[in-house]
């Protein structure tokens, strides 16, 4: 089976990074949030998109 070398590299980096935190998700999350807070890059957020409700047909209950 063919394997994409870029995907393989990304998976290896992810595995190595997770191993640094003993594969503990909360530790990985905290480290990423700390890195984000220390970053000088501008943070962008968007307002949530509102999806208009759709009209659904209500079927009468069977007696």
Distance in angstroms (rounded) separating the CA atoms of residues 30 and 46: 23
pTM of the model: 0.57
Distance in angstroms (rounded) separating the CA atoms of residues 51 and 63: 35
List per-residue pLDDT tens for the chain, 63 residues long: 889 999 999 999 999 999 999 999 999 999 999 999 999 999 888 999 888 888 776 677 776
Distance in angstroms (rounded) separating the CA atoms of residues 19 and 13: 10
Distance in angstroms (rounded) separating the CA atoms of residues 6 and 36: 25
Please give the pLDDT value at position 43. Answer: 84
Please give the pLDDT value at position 63. Answer: 60
Please give the pLDDT value at position 33. Answer: 94
Tokens linked to 36: 């984000």
Distance in angstroms (rounded) separating the CA atoms of residues 29 and 31: 5
């Amino acid at each position: 089976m063919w394997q994409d070398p870029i995907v393989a590299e990304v998976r290896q980096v992810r595995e190595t990074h997770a191993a640094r935190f003993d594969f503990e998700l909360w530790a990985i999350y905290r480290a990423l949030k700390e890195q984000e807070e220390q970053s000088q890059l501008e943070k962008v957020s968007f307002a949530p998109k509102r999806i208009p409700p759709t009209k659904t047909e209500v079927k009468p209950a069977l007696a």
